[in-house]
Amino acid sequence: MIVSAGEALIDLMPAVAADGAMALRPRLGGAPFNVAIALGRLGAPAAMLGAISTDAFGDALVEALEDSNVSTALVTRVARPTPLAIVDIAADEPRYAFYDAGTAARGVTLRELKPLPPEARWLSFGSITLAGDPAASTMIARAAASRAERLIAFDPNVRPALAGGAAHYRRNLEAALARADLVKLSAADLAWLRPDQPAETFAAECLAQGAAFVVVTQGENGATGFLPAARVETAGLPVTVADTVGAGDAFMAGLLAALYEGGVTERADLARLDEATVAQALAFANRVAARACTRPGADPPHRSEV
Strands 84-88, 122-126: parallel, antiparallel or unpaired by DSSP? unpaired
For residue 164, what pLDDT is reported? Answer: 58
Number of Cβ atoms within 10 Å of the Cβ of 235: 12
pLDDT over 90 (residue 20): no
* pLDDT at position 93 over 70: no
Least confident of 150-159, 204-213, 240-249, 297-306: 240-249
Buried b (16+ CB within 10 A) or exposed e, 78-103: bebbbbbbbbebeeeebebebebeeb
User: Which residues, 6 or more positions from 182, have their beta carbon under 8 angstroms from its beta carbon?
Assistant: 151, 152, 153, 154, 211, 212, 213, 214, 215, 255, 256, 259, 270
Share of the chain above pLDDT 70, in %: 96
**At a CB cut-off of 8 Å and minimum separation 6, what does 196 contact?**
none
Distance CA 141, CA 155 (A): 16
Residue 22: predicted pLDDT = 72
Q: What is the pLDDT of residues 166-223, one digit of tens each?
A: 788 889 999 999 999 999 999 999 999 999 899 999 999 999 999 999 999 998 889 9
| Domain 2-305, CATH | 3.40.1190.20
Within 13 Å, how many C-alpha atoms sit on residue 220's CB side?
9
Q: What is the mean pLDDT of the chain?
A: 91
Residues 110 and 248: their CA atoms lie apart, in Å, by: 27
User: What does the radius of gyration of the chain's CA atoms come to, in whole angstroms?
Assistant: 18
Question: Where residue 16 falls among pLDDT bands split at 50, 70, 90?
Answer: low
Please count the other Cβ atoms lying within 10 Å of the Cβ belonging to residue 146. Answer: 20
Query: Which pLDDT does position 301 carry in this prediction?
Result: 93
C-alpha distance from residue 63 to each of 44, 66, 69, 72, 124 (Å): 18, 5, 10, 9, 21
Q: pLDDT tens digits for 114-141?
A: 999 999 999 999 988 998 889 999 999 9
Name the band, by pLDDT with cuts 50, 70 and 90, for residue 245: confident
Q: Are 140 and 179 in contact (CB under 8 A)?
A: yes
Angle subtended at Cα 104 by Cα 103 and Cα 107, rounded to the nearest 5 degrees? 75
* pTM confidence score: 0.93
Query: Between the ranges 83-87, 230-234, 253-257, where is the mean pLDDT highest?
Result: 253-257
Give pLDDT tens digits for 264-281: 999 999 999 999 999 999
Distance CA 29, CA 211 (A): 28
